[in-house]
Amino acid sequence: MALVSIRGIRHLRRFQQIAQVLIRHGFGELVDLLGAAPVFPLARFRRRRPVLGPPQRLRMALEELGPTFVKLGQVLSTRPDLLPPEYIAELARLQDTVPPVPWDEIRPLLERELGKPLESVFATIDPVPLAAASLAQVHPAILRDGSRVVVKVQRPNVEAVIRVDLDILADVAQLLQTRTPLGELYDLPAMVEDFAATLRAELDFYREGHNADRFRANFADEPYLYIPRICWDCTTRRVLVMERIHGIKIDDIQALDAAGYDRYRIGLHAARMIIKEVLEDGFFHADPHPGNFVVMPGEVIGAMDFGMVGYLSRRTRTDLIRLYIAAVQMDEEAIVDQLVRMGAVGGTVDRRGLQHDLARFLRKYQGLPLKAIRAREVMEEAMPIAFRHHLRLPPELWLLGKTLAMMEGVGLKLVPDFDIFAVSRPYVQRFLREMVLPSTWAPSLLRDLDEWGHLFGLLPRVGAQLLTQAERGELEVTLRHRGLEQALARLDRLANRLSLSVLLAALIVGLALLIPAFHLAERGGVVTVLVVGGFFLASFLGLWLVISILRTGRR
């Protein structure tokens, strides 16, 4: 059974490498769960007692496995509904810095992508990169017209490696869907597919360039944010050439003070940027660590690296505002109702337990002024509740929470008593006004009326057909219970095991009674051999059954 499942996994050699790394970091049980033990017959003898905790070992294993798994860890660090808080905190520390690829390998790749010699495009290009990550590295350069740019070039063969890893992850997700309780709560193959789409988008530098253009268009009337321009004549899917901007790193407080910048204004601009992205545009920079933002003259914030972005539909933004209002009103029942409307609460959730946990969570902040509430603390308090009750909030909301926490960390360094809620209040009020305007709800109302009109038009014809079928006895109603087949199969296996246990016990007892009754030791011959041999065979089968039951219990 195990070998059959493993043979269904593509790229076995790479899978073996992944399994070896997992075993070395103390996750041999996961390899066993996937049925990979036959591929590594000596693996369990090489396992050592772990020194570090599971979250630390998981982070180290992902870093060792390469770019696909580093990105997977980063995505998982935004999903407290999937992992306990201690794993989330550890995965947030994942390092995406690797040694750069030598220039001798980068230069031919650049010329192949650009379709011409580098000298015809750049006046100069520095072979030493400014930064190197698992997907790409960045080189400073000057174009032939004198423009200073940075050249982001994809690492050689990284796409092929990621394609293989994504195939393996898809196969593993299919196995885990049927072999673990997670498969009953989440659609793991769909999650892997979403992750694959996100990672493929990050590998497409055309897409990153268009993200930058979209941010520039959104903030065209906001002078406090500067988005560098893209050199589209020199940009391909694997090479991005972008205007180079200079400034002071946004969290370098000493340098900002030395330059005479107003830190409060910088914090105000950063807060307005993220609030506008979330409430007005529904399109936000999802990797706002301090290295991606610099402060330019006039307290203007310069943004970089637009590979990771988040999207919020108007409906999601409306749901977010409603959750915010219910939380401010300390109404845990309204929060649960809103979570149900959002599809975040499963049918088997303990609603009373969820309300109790939310009430305890809200009481901690009751009476506190908004400026005393920290987004990071709120996220850390909410994570155990989400994990305990398996809340399935949209992934973009968890990504938004992480983004807000990172921006809040930057803001607190700039202005320790900065009140982001005071800055956001006008935007929230404007959004609430827009929610009740006819221009917001009229289109959806007209669409619903059209659907209802279509339904009422179908009712006479469909109703007549159903009544005719019922009258002729041709109407059949089929009910299907999800998971019933698996439950019946388990019950059948239990019944078979119970029957086998009873038969073996009867056989062992019966043969044991035959031995003294027939004086087999005196008779000898074939009868003795058959009875004694049957007794030992039945005893062996009974021992095997006991061992099988114990192993099943451990799993």
Q: Which residues are catalytic?
A: 287
Instruction: List b or e across 377-403, with b for residues whose CB sees 16 or more CB atoms inside 10 angstroms.
Output: ebbeebbebbbebbbbbbbbbbbbbbb
CA atoms within 13 A on the CB side of 451: 6
DSSP state of 316: H
Angle between helix 332-341 and 314-328 (nearest 10)? 170
Q: For 82-117, what is the HEC assignment?
A: CCCHHHHHHHCCCCCECCCCCHHHHHHHHHHHHCCC
Residue 1 identity = M
Q: Specify the length of the chain in residues.
A: 555
Contact 23, 43 (CB under 8 A): yes
In terms of DSSP bridges, do strands 148-154 and 239-243 run parallel, antiparallel, or are they unpaired?
antiparallel
Q: Using alpha carbons, list the distances in angstroms from residue 106 to 126, 155, 208, 239.
A: 11, 8, 20, 11
**How many Cβ atoms from other residues are within 10 Å of residue 414's Cβ?**
23
In this structure, what are the phi and psi dihedrals at residue 307, rounded to the nearest 5 degrees? -75, -35
- Indicate the residue type of 354: L
Burial 281-311 (b: 16+ CB within 10 A, else e): bbbbbbbbeeebbbbeeebbbbbbbbbbbbe
In order, the DSSP letters of 407-470 are HHHHHHHH-TT--HHHHHHHHHHHHHHHHHSHHHHHHHHHHHHHHHHHHHHHHHHHHHHHHHHH
Give the strands of the sheet with 248-249, arranged side by side. Answer: 225-226, 300-303, 293-296, 248-249
Q: How far apart are CA 234 and CA 122, in angstroms?
A: 10
3-state secondary structure of 305: coil
Please tell me the distance from the alpha carbon of residue 505 to that of residue 492, in angstroms, as a whole number. 20
SS in 3 state form for 195-245? HHHHHHHHHCHHHHHHHHHHHHHHCCCCCCEECCCECHHHCCCCEEEEECC
Q: Give me the numbers of helices (H) and strands (E) for the chain, helices first please.
A: 24, 11
Please give the backbone phi and psi of residue 311, each rounded to the nearest 5 degrees, phi first.
Answer: -120, 140
503/281 Cα distance (integer angstroms): 71
Please give the Cα distance from 424 to 274 (Å, whole number): 10
Amino acid at site 70: V
